[in-house]
Structure 1
């Protein structure tokens, strides 16, 4: 009999397990990972992690290990142009001029985050089972029961589903979703360039979708390049010369000569929102609960917010002697996270529809709107704080940098 079984060995699943175990070491936690043991080491991607989520990583004792590979994002510019335009007019800039200003986000290699989380999980005594695909879930006799592909059966008080946007556990629990396919794919790759980026991120709104340039350590940048799915597949499968030519048309030459510094992959983009974040003896977190467009770079950060809220809910319930897997207990987590998630999903959906086109009157209206925001310091400061995750009224303790 286990107290908690976390299904999914990515950063969200590992973070839930580590956050709970650090504050409630007596709880027996097992993490089930469907993938082979070392597959995470092949992930060449990087993620934007907002300041509030960095507070959580610091509180969990992970930041000193991650920081050497983390690149602060101190500034951001937003342009709206056509593909191939040599000069991209800047309509909006984000930079906090205060001396006390902190970076509103960091770019962190996924490998660095997972490495630190796995090291912490092992030190805390959290069991991690690899090649452990869940084939069945049931709620029987007051506890949950899961069955693995190898036939092993586990009983637990609570299952935390962190198994991705196509979550099988969510389906097994009968939780419905709202889904929409954008007909777009996000191409992810890394480039080296001659000139320094100085910690500046760039978001270029192009007719096919946003083209984001995100700074990494050294003269390197991570790209999230949105294209129509058919064009994305063609680009990913093209030879290096064609890919680099199309890349330069969008990237420009302001950072000098570009060189591909990693592989390239395309991921389909859509909106997926779970109608419920909880079921009997189950809580969804991360992409299992929500999948949004990367236009705002908030996908992983929504997951980290889930982690902070769910861990606090579980730990406080345990301290009060409550059933950590009871529906009433988990309802607090759902109320805490649902509005913020729906709001962010709706925001990214509207932004993607507004900017992923080349309709003249619409383009004029959005450019005027961006220009007005750029000239209103108070509103711009609000957006910076929002991007850093510092505007919520009731922040989970971990996001505030406080222990549970």
Structure 2
């Protein structure tokens, strides 16, 4: 029984997607939750495949992010998990069970095990918060007393117990999304799909929704799969991430790895908004060569998280010598690893510029010489 099911055991009436004998034969069932094997999707009338050759494992109880530019195939991929999209080729396995051959009854059971929340909430305006959350349980034929216990429990979980009689028009965007999350959890799902769940929210509300999702992941042990255009969302909540481009996987890995040292041009483009641009005043003064002995060397020092210990600034300054000016940047922890970059100038150092660069490489993972300024 899942951690989610333990919250209200009697509410979990659907048939598990795996069995004890299967778990014994396939130990990977304890970790791999969703698997895509050679997945492809082509829509009628389109010459280009929306998805092609997707091989991907999503681990149990992790928060997994899917990113990519518009049209990359993110929505198509996430919707194959609950069979809202039928793959053209390949397979989708949940707990090692191929869902491609499910009949209508098994699809109903599957979709009750997979919750989904949306960008625009999809609430019924004529129903109260309570009624919106209760509706899937009524459709499923759950007895009234059991429905009432479950709805009360979920509204408390998402912090809306005091809003149970309110209508969607009376709620803020964040509160509407909390209703959507509660509704997605009514059948004690094993998997929660998030389709741009924070894109319509302001930054402060986004942070509160991400904290709620993180709490749900930890408390209920759900596997959460989310797609988003917001790289900060991936950075703040996800364990691993995959980057899609034109329906193909171009990069994947732990968030700290992809964010700290992106390898593909698409990844670098998507992550660029998280990087502070070079100040215009500095850019206008940059020269490719020093004009005098007093010219300042401008370095961009990048820390990618390959070392779990945050490097000491005092060590850097002492090693480079001379006068060090920190122009901008910072180091922050992502998944317990230090990531970030510093833009510095070095003047009056006792070391030659080549030596300064070599010494900087002992501190930073990557060192880029931007030029010189007077």
TM-score range, shorter chain: under 0.3
TM-score by length of 2: 0.21
TM-score by length of 1: 0.20
Q: Say which one has the larger Rg.
A: 2
Higher relative contact order (Cα pairs below 8 Å, separated by 6+ residues):
1
